[in-house]
Amino acid sequence: MSDVKPFVLDFDLVSGFCTSGKVKPTQRRVSDMVAQFANETAARAMVEGGDPLLYEFYGLDLPEDDSGVLQFGTTILYPGKVGEEYFMTKGHFHTILDTSEIYYGLSGHGMMLMETPEGQVDWKEIGPGEALYVPGRWAHRSINTGTEPLVMFFVYRGDAGHDYGTIEEKGYRKLVVERDGKPAVIDNPKWKV
């Protein structure tokens, strides 16, 4: 058991920013994810045009080897598209595969795209006041389908860990793109068995 003392943090309910100055967000830009977008040419052009910030999220300095710890924070995913594909997070399985996660929508609108190693796929919309349960075994990727930042609070078992490699190698089975002004979930032509 780790020696974490009680503490309080402020997460703004609209912006998602943590106002406790010592907590710094992790940022990911288009250049961090070029190969994960269906239209890599569009992604490279965006990198050359200024490399926009896709999202930022707060991970706290809590022990990562203690199953009794709960990690929590906010993800702030900005609106925009790469080609016709909405801005999205990298997405990951948890290294301890059967650990679950809860997201709570604070502001903005989007989707969580999920899949299991066995090939089940699912997606759920999320917006303000909605709690989303991502069961263990389901990889999860957030997608901003709106025009405002998508801000979500999350909490998961502190030792869950992050397996990014599987998604980086194989991609997701589905993509979320804008068609006729609306989000559409389509097969990912780059997905590898």
How many residues line the site for ligand S6P (CB under 6 A)?
A: 13
* Of 16, 30, 54, 57, the one binding ligand S6P by CB under 6 A: 57
Distances in Å between the alpha carbon of 1 and those of 58, 66, 68, 141? 23, 6, 7, 31
Which residue bears the tokens 């890599």?
40
The least CB distance from residue 84 to Zn ion, in Å, is 26
Could you tell me which stretch among 60-68, 78-86, 97-105, 176-184 binds Zn ion (CB under 5 A)?
97-105
SS3 content of the chain, % helix, strand, coil (to 5): 10, 40, 50
Query: By CB under 6 A, is residue 92 in contact with ligand S6P?
Result: yes
- Can you list the positions of beta strands (E) in 21-69? 26-29, 53-57
Q: Look up residue 123 and give its amino acid.
A: W
With CB cut-offs between 5 and 8 Å by kind, which of ligand S6P, Zn ion, none does residue 57 bind?
A: ligand S6P
Could you tell me which stretch among 11-19, 60-68, 106-114, 154-162 binds ligand S6P (CB under 6 A)?
154-162
Contact 109, 146 (CB under 8 A): yes
The least CB distance from residue 154 to Zn ion, in Å, is 7
* Other beta carbons less than 10 A from residue 98's beta carbon: 11
Which structure tokens are listed for 179?
């068609």
User: Which residue number, 101 or 115, has a Cβ lying nearer to Zn ion?
Assistant: 101
Contact 88, 146 (CB under 8 A): no
* Of 44, 90, 173, 190, the one binding ligand S6P by CB under 6 A: 90
With CB cut-offs between 5 and 8 Å by kind, which of Zn ion, ligand S6P, none does residue 154 bind?
A: ligand S6P
User: Which residue number, 89 or 107, has a Cβ lying nearer to ligand S6P?
Assistant: 89
Q: Look up residue 73 and give its amino acid.
A: G
Site residues, ligand S6P (CB under 6 A): 28, 57, 75, 89-92, 101, 140, 142, 154, 156, 162
